[in-house]
Amino acid sequence: MTLLQPGFFSSLPVQNALLIGAGAALLSGAAGVFTVLRGQSFAGHALADVSAAGGAMAYLLGISPLLGFFSLSVLGALALEALGTRRAAGRDLAAGIVLGAGMGITALLLYLDVTVKGSAGAAVTVMFGSLFATPPGLGRAVALGALAGLLGLGFIYRPLLLASLDGELAKADGVNTRLLGAVYLLLLALAVTLSAMAVGAILSTALLIGPAAAALRLARSPVAAMGLAALLGLGCAWGGVWLAYQSYGWTPGHVWPVSFFITALVLVVYAAASLARRA
Amino acid sequence: MFAPYMLDAWIVATLVALAAGCAGYFVVLRGAGFAAHALPMAAFPGAALAGLLGIARFYGLAVFALGGVAGLAWLKRAQRPDAATALVLVALLGLGALFLSLSGQYSNAVYALLFGQILGVGPADLPPAFAIGLGVPLALLACFRPLTYSAIAPDLAAARGLSGAGLDLLFLGLLAVTSAVALPIAGALLVFTLMVGPAAAARHLTRAPLPALGLSMALALVIAWAALALAYLTGLPSGFFVGTLSAAAYLAARLKR
């Protein structure tokens, strides 16, 4: 049995998929560490759901999906910031309301995509992604976005870590936690956008939360956790692309969704990390 | 709008709104927003698998939704429950995507299951809708005091011998059944909206438990009816109106205070 079907690396769609998967996984893994530390998994998931409206809008207007996803997830981040209250319970509620409004708008836009534009596959691409069918130029844009996001994260890393672990202490230290929180939400919106390009809007949470939660169990310091999360995410993304490529041979002529493999691998990695910690 | 073929849609929308409005009050009170979002998502692959195997959709939905309850109860003990919940949620969605992809009716089914098809309900949807529309509010009202008590003062409730875990399981079970029945109609994403929006608005308008519960159910009902009417008149998807009207109700209630 050959490990790789012929043409894996020479195929253009695969190269594009590997590049997008890498960009999305690296930034989401690193940013996700803070999402998990701050207990904002639901907020991250809500941003992803809202960004789906942007993906649907991009079809309708004929603009780049990257721009569509990003503009709406920034709007979602602003809405979360405006509604967000200090208490954790109130924050969950705000996330729920923002998410619900976003989903309603997504329903309308996807409907218009099909009826006005005739893009029958829009619902699948926006919600669950179709990594092998992305436009060729997108890989480079995602790589650039990931690089910018990682630089931004490196820039605010120290105060953000302090504010995430102990908000009161950070305030006493003269950190503007509100501004910091807003900048962080923007970076989160970027990470969610890139992940949505790879695995679709509602599955992007997998790349954001999974590798980060697993890494936080294994690593001893936050920096190590960020690095490990990025690597674990990369492994899951590339592993998923490879498995999906292989699946062409399992059910003749039918490729299983890449997103299924990536989310399944993420869950496996997380479960393995939990068990490893307990053992 | 009130033609005979629309009658089923009106009845089902009414019953689903009653159940969602009532369950939503407790979702908001108990801070269970994430669980309420996760359960319909957990049920989603059930519908997809039922389609693949050719069995009745309700069985697939019920099995996966109740499995979701077991998963949530188990994950509560994890180190970071919200991260674990998010992961299981997306893994199940991914599984649903796989089932739909294998059954070869990908795009239409994705849209219908996520966003619902209220205009597509038929007589077969009536019995389960009646069961939850009446059963869920009755069951929740029967447990009104312990459910409220354990949410507001968990320590006090435990001291009086109320089992928090048992109540939680019962509550999540009712949420799961509601999700399973409402999913084909309102869609996996919007069942949740109908639960959280009206209830959160009602809590902003009044703090007293029973009036807030009644107001939540009334708001859910008005939103569901308005969404159905607007969907019929404009030809646009009902999910759009359910989602935006729920958020608008919440915002209006917030601004009013």
How many other β-carbons are positioned within 10 Å of the β-carbon of residue B63? 15
CA distances from A186 to A70, A83, A239, B71 (A): 9, 16, 29, 32
Of B83, B110, B197, the CB nearest to A100: B197
Q: Residues of B74-104 as b/e, b for ≥16 C-beta within 10 angstroms?
A: ebeebebbbbbbbbbbbbbbbbbbbbbbbbe
* Token pair recorded at residue B62: 């019920």
- B134-150 confidence digits (pLDDT tens): 999 999 888 888 888 77
Which residues contact residue B184 at a Cβ distance below 8 angstroms, ignoring those fewer than 6 apart?
B47, B57, B61, B112, B113, B116, B117, B121, B125
3-state secondary structure of A253: coil
Q: Provide the residue type at A190 as one letter.
A: L
Give, for all 279 residues of chain A, the pLDDT tens digit.
Answer: 344 556 677 777 888 888 999 999 999 999 999 999 888 888 888 888 899 999 889 888 888 888 999 999 999 888 887 876 555 556 777 888 888 888 888 888 988 888 887 777 788 888 888 888 777 778 888 899 999 999 999 999 888 888 888 777 878 887 787 888 888 888 999 999 999 988 888 888 899 999 999 999 898 888 999 999 999 999 999 999 989 888 877 877 677 888 899 999 999 999 898 888 655
Domain count, chain B: 1
What was the pLDDT predicted at B162? 67
* Position A109 in a domain: yes
* Position A120 in a domain: yes
* Position A119 in a domain: yes
How many other β-carbons are positioned within 10 Å of the β-carbon of residue B36? 27
CA distances from B48 to A204, B5, B100 (A): 20, 27, 5
Alpha-carbon gap, residue A43 to A91, rounded angstroms: 8
Length of chain B: 257
- Closest by CA position to A139, among listed A7, A273, A23: A23
Domain count, chain A: 1
How many other β-carbons are positioned within 10 Å of the β-carbon of residue B257? 6
Is A260 in Cβ contact with B101 (below 8 Å)? yes
Would you say A33 and A215 are in contact if contact means Cβ atoms under 8 Å apart?
A: yes
- Phi/psi zone of residue B122: left (φ > 0), alpha (ψ -120 to 50 degrees), beta? beta
Nearest C-alpha in A relative to B29? A89
Higher pLDDT residue, B6 or B247? B247
Query: What is the domain extent for residue A70?
Result: 12-202
What was the pLDDT predicted at A88? 59
CB-count exposure of residue B200 (10 Å: 0-12, 13-18, 19+): buried
Query: What is the domain extent for residue B42?
Result: 4-256
B contacts of A260 (beta carbons < 8 Å): 94-95, 97-98, 101
3-state secondary structure of A254: strand
- Supply the DSSP symbol for A114: I
* Position A107 in a domain: yes
- H-type alpha helices, A166-257: 167-172, 177-199, 204-218, 222-246
Alpha-carbon gap, residue B45 to B188, rounded angstroms: 10
Residues 177-206 of A with CB under 8 A from B: 200, 202-203, 205-206
DSSP tally for chain A: helices H, then strands E:
12, 0
Residues 128-147 of A with CB under 8 A from B: 128
Report the pLDDT averaged over residues B8-13.
88
- B22-42 confidence digits (pLDDT tens): 999 998 888 888 888 888 888
Please check whether residue A15 touches B, CB under 8 A.
Answer: no
Of B82, B114, B239, the CB nearest to A127: B114
DSSP states of A144-188: HHHHHHHHHHHHSHHHHHHHHH-HHHHHHTT--HHHHHHHHHHHH
Alpha-carbon gap, residue B94 to B180, rounded angstroms: 18
What was the pLDDT predicted at A2? 43
A254 beta partners: A251
3-state secondary structure of B56: coil
CATH of the domain at A131: 1.10.3470.10
How many other β-carbons are positioned within 10 Å of the β-carbon of residue A252? 6
Question: Which residue in the block uniquely carries the two structure tokens 């690597």?
Answer: A231
Of A107, A124, A270, the CB nearest to B243: A107
Please check whether residue A36 touches B, CB under 8 A.
Answer: yes
CA distances from B133 to B89, B202, B247 (A): 26, 20, 23
What was the pLDDT predicted at A1? 35
Q: How confident is the model at residue B105 (pLDDT cuts 50, 70, 90)?
A: low
CATH of the domain at B147: 1.10.3470.10
Would you say A150 and A30 are in contact if contact means Cβ atoms under 8 Å apart?
A: yes
* Position A258 in a domain: no
- Closest by CA position to A216, among listed A55, A47, A38: A38
Largest CA distance in chain A: 63
B contacts of A254 (beta carbons < 8 Å): 101-102
Please check whether residue B45 touches A, CB under 8 A.
Answer: no
3-state secondary structure of A10: coil
* Token pair recorded at residue A116: 């006005």
Which residues contact residue B134 at a Cβ distance below 8 angstroms, ignoring those fewer than 6 apart?
B15, B18
Share of chain B above pLDDT 90, in %: 16
